[in-house]
Amino acid sequence: MAENRKWKGNTGGGALGQRGLILFFRWWNLRLGYAFMALVIPFYMLFARKRYLAIYHYFRTQFDYSKWKSFTKTYRNHFLFGQVILDRFAIFAGRKDVFDIEIIGNEHYDRLVNGKKGFIIAGSHVGNFEICGYLLNSTQKKINALIYAGETAEVQKNRSKILESNNVNLIPVSSDMSHIFAINSALQNGEIASMPCDRNHGSAKAVECDFIRGKADFPLGAFLLAVSFDVEVLAIFVIKISIKKYTVFVRPICAETALNRKRKAENLVKSYARELESIVKQYPEQWLNYYEFWK
């Protein structure tokens, strides 16, 4: 992936600011945090210009919006991203009870979680995938979530504390590739492996897909694992609907059966890309990949 198409994201604000947010939400509600953030967003857009332009180009090119509509949509996108971050810190402050979750397609998850085999959850950087792990407790099978390094110690500490209590095991990507063995072991043990499947991170193992009026590379790794271990894949999208409500969409990812291993994995990637495209078209403002995603 070219340098200008990478985005190495982490939660800003520093350790002191992040602890301050946690204290803030112990006493004050989300609406006040959102109101303050609405004033800060224009400055963020001004000084984080590359990220701003990536989203502006996304609306201009992929949705063919006018310049003004693209600008207003870009502001709305940044505002929603800020809400997603503040929601996370509200949960860190012990405010899980303020959020409601509706699940559409839960029968697909129930079928697999009650079976003997493990399976793969394909996540994405749309909406707030992480909050699902905070609000829902996996009782039948352990979820092993692959995460990329880069978050602050404060976020990592609070994230681990909540997710471990919900039967979610975090597996950081490491340079010695030990995360691959951990994921393999989880699937062999009939557990769940969860990983983001919409960022290629420069890997040569990628599939070019037609995606919202353009071409984009999607990583092959998760889908090769699915074929190798003969397990199913579910795409899960967690969309912010209102201040206190999230909707979780659970969709099975299927491929043609009469294919060799590589072709079947590639077919799964394209199926995932189609499901992701469907969600993004429905909720375009919740696209949170802040780099030039398309080729």
Same domain, 74 and 136: no
Split into its structural domains, the chain has a count of: 2
Q: Can you give the pLDDT at residue 134? A: 77
Owning domain of residue 170:
97-286
> Is 70 a member of any domain?
yes
Only one residue has tokens 């990812």, namely 253
The pLDDT tens digits of the residues spanning 225-236 come to 999 999 999 999
Global pTM reads 0.87
Tell me how far apart the alpha carbons of residues 239 and 211 are, in angstroms, rounded to a whole number.
19
The residue from 52, 67, 92 where one domain ends is: 92
**Nearest in space to 144 (alpha carbons), one of 104, 176, 114, 179:** 179
> Is 292 a member of any domain?
no
> Is 129 a member of any domain?
yes
The pLDDT tens digits of the residues spanning 167-192 come to 888 888 877 778 888 999 999 999 99
Same domain, 110 and 220: yes
